[in-house]
Structure 1
């Protein structure tokens, strides 16, 4: 076999821009980091309108982030059906980190001393895995104890974002604060009465902040109007329903655990459907039920009934406690499937699954 011929560097530099962009479009996620380091010209392609349009319309990746950032994070590419590792060690890792949300390629995290239950006052951090940079947010104006938080895009520029927090103020009222990446400041934007949120993630969907309440309902806070409403759960047996709220490209869903004698028997997926008739302007539609054979396999991957689920594109991904195996419910095809197992034998005690887009223009100094 003859020697591999390396193309002349001039040939690559003379390639038309649209061909370079097509090459960029075909790269798997782990190659983005190497691609950016080649030269300033190639790095600049990530800020092009063409690439941003690709990123906005592409299937997000699934990222598994351990609480200790010196450990590798795992990222799954749905197009190539492959796992890769990426490093988040650029985030200070002297304390455990709890990842809380993602938007436009950015991850929102709590940098906390521990994982005690109850409302907390962690330091919030926003990071970009692609540019390997992060920013620690300043102290909030009014919130002293955080109930829920989320990150969402703001404006038309990919580098802009907003962090929304619902929490308890020093006077005992529940307020909503927003951090704007342009002004780099927090601002109280509203208040919530008669609603106590669970200490879980919060989601943004079509102008609403959505979160699970402690009384067995779903809070919907209209950001523009500052009006709060509470939606009932999909079943009348809400008090005995161990549920998770999920948002993804396909809509808003509730995943309910079917249990018997503290043993998981299955999962049901309901979709939130808005309507204009009747007393309420919404209803819940059952769209999926975990088959018993899949449930048995899901239980074997864990030693407890705890599970997490996250929306990625048009899919809902499930992970059992301390398990590295991911079960996927495809909303578009109503099918249940397992992702390929990660090739290495890894087991992390604390980990969070999140969707990850590739919108790399944000670089924190």
Structure 2
């Protein structure tokens, strides 16, 4: 780009159509789709770009446009978090250890650029933060006891009609009043308070606190099957599924998906009906569809793939761990790529998809 030319310069009329230079088109129609780290690099392009990228309106617009997962946080128990991306030049945060928060935390959930963290000590306070802007808020204490490993899911859906970040936090916790029962508590940023739902799901099976995911207004957790909670209906349901072993829940093309290893292959399945939670599903074949079998590139993984474990399934990507190394597989391009392993590794390391967003708290 010609730095001597002011971006947005009007170039004239032709056939009653107004023409603008390329920099204006990029500034207005391309920049909002870029991740935060790339945008910070473009602050030095020119004064107009810097002014635009720095405005709250642009940050709001970017949080809506840039919705694809660009990286993920990883954290082993007792260790600080770190961030990994298949394109480190495009995705990153100033402080991946989250030292801007007032105390050490564990990352519990993430949604469209926001993180839900919980204090490692004291009263286990919840924090909502944006690691790009270092903005954070401490949430009030919940009404219920969520336990040592809370099954919390952060829900943040950017909207053009709502300039302020409107998010919810949903926790499934063991009932203190009923045996073999799960209850739900929801925090609303709009209300600024917690509320225990009247919904109670009687089941002898506990939920996996690390498995929670939100898709189309429904929160799902792995249990003996799937525990689904619909926020709008304030209704829960236990869905049957016959998967076993190491499998993960994810979201692909707006649908719930599951992914697991079968020998050298990875099987990806998508929810057959987006409104499955409203029906009584009783068979594995009716619940899942679009089974896809994936085999990682042997040249990239270094020979025959052994004991793969899927740790993330989101968007069009799978993140797979093998022999203490991480690989990302793109379902569209069929490409396998090795990732830099985070400093802290282990069987209990948690991996959480992350979107590099400028959203303001």
Q: Report the Cα distance in structure 1 between the residues aligned to 2:169 and 2:245, rounded to whole angstroms.
A: 30
Q: Report the Cα distance in structure 2 between the residues aligned to 1:321 and 1:110, rounded to whole angstroms.
A: 30
Answer yes or no: is 1:348 the counterpart of 2:355: no
State the aligned residue count: 327
Structure 1 stretches lacking a partner, 5+ long: 115-120, 259-263
- 2:114 is aligned, of 94, 97, 106, to 106
Q: Which moved more, 1:25-34 or 1:219-228?
A: 25-34
Distance 1:47 1:296, change over 3 A: closer
Instruction: Give the drift of 1:44.
Output: 0.6
**2:183 equivalent in structure 1:** 175
Q: Report the Cα distance in structure 2 between the residues aligned to 1:276 and 1:134, rounded to whole angstroms.
A: 34
- 2:213 is aligned, of 203, 206, 224, to 203
**1:47 equivalent in structure 2:** 58
Instruction: Give the drift of 1:164.
Output: 0.8
Alignment of 1:222-237 (within 5 A): 222-233=230-241, 235=242
TM-score with structure 2 length normalisation?
Answer: 0.72
Preserved CA contact (<8 Å) 1:147 1:197:
no
- 1:339 is aligned, of 330, 337, 340, to 337
**2:359 equivalent in structure 1:** 361
Answer yes or no: is 1:272 the counterpart of 2:271: yes
Distance 1:358 1:160, change over 3 A: farther
Preserved CA contact (<8 Å) 1:209 1:221:
yes
Report Cα offsets for 1:90-114 as digits up to 9, x if no partner: 443853x432322221112233259
TM-score with structure 1 length normalisation?
Answer: 0.71
Distance 1:32 1:349, change over 3 A: same
Alignment of 1:131-170 (within 5 A): 131-145=133-147, 147-153=150-156, 156=159, 157=162, 159-170=165-176
- 1:130 is aligned, of 132, 140, 151, to 132
Alignment of 1:24-103 (within 5 A): 24-25=31-32, 29-34=36-41, 41-44=52-55, 47=58, 51-56=62-67, 59-66=68-75, 73-77=83-87, 85-86=92-93, 87-88=95-96, 89-92=98-101, 95=104, 97-103=105-111
Q: Report the Cα distance in structure 2 between the residues aligned to 1:288 and 1:107, rounded to whole angstroms.
A: 31
Structure 2 stretches lacking a partner, 5+ long: 11-19
Q: Report the Cα distance in structure 2 between the residues aligned to 1:28 and 1:292, rounded to whole angstroms.
A: 27
Q: Report the Cα distance in structure 2 between the residues aligned to 1:194 and 1:266, rounded to whole angstroms.
A: 36
- 2:201 is aligned, of 193, 218, 222, to 193
Distance 1:176 1:349, change over 3 A: same
**1:248 equivalent in structure 2:** 252
Report Cα offsets for 1:168-212 as digits up to 9, x if no partner: 354355321111112221111333322331232311222222111
Distance 1:92 1:143, change over 3 A: same
Distance 1:28 1:162, change over 3 A: closer
Distance 1:94 1:289, change over 3 A: same
What secondary structure does 2:257 align onto? strand
Report Cα offsets for 1:35-94 as digits up to 9, x if no partner: 5697655311653675455325xx3312234458867523344xxx85654323344385
Distance 1:338 1:309, change over 3 A: same
Higher relative contact order (CA 8 A, sep 6+): 2
Q: Report the Cα distance in structure 1 between the residues aligned to 2:303 and 2:202, rounded to whole angstroms.
A: 37
**1:118 equivalent in structure 2:** none
Distance 1:34 1:179, change over 3 A: farther
